[in-house]
Amino acid sequence: MNTDLKKSDAPVSTVTFNRNEIDTPTDNIYEAIAIISKRATQINSETKKELLEKLDEFATYTDNLDEIFENKEQIEVSKFYERLPKPHALAVQEWLEDKIYYRDTKSDSQE
């Protein structure tokens, strides 16, 4: 995951956005939301992968492979990730800052 996501200005709680700001790049609110949604899914999978890797570093395995004990480091790592802005908030922030690359495949196929 980018360090940019951890230092993002994205809100941690729910906020209301101006619809016109969201759909300005595409002139279609549904298309804009679809793009933001795909980016949020990417951010979520990146974050989840990173979190699991960090938790795995602190995992203590016993003779029984089914039992994995959590320790204080794992709990602290989990709490840190819980405090980060949610993936959808990060994706909307990236969209508003024009940091998401997208292209119109309809116009590409017509050319």
Let me know if residue 64 belongs to a domain. Answer: yes
Instruction: Say if CB 98 and CB 89 are below 8 A apart.
Output: no
How many domains does the chain fold into? 1
Let me know if residue 48 belongs to a domain. Answer: yes
Q: Which residue did the predictor score with more confidence, 72 or 63?
A: 72
Q: Which residue did the predictor score with more confidence, 37 or 63?
A: 37
Let me know if residue 110 belongs to a domain. Answer: no
Let me know if residue 6 belongs to a domain. Answer: no
HSE (side-chain half, CA atoms, 13 Å) at 109: 3
State the pLDDT confidence band at 7, using cuts at 50, 70 and 90: confident
Domain boundaries, position 48:
16-97
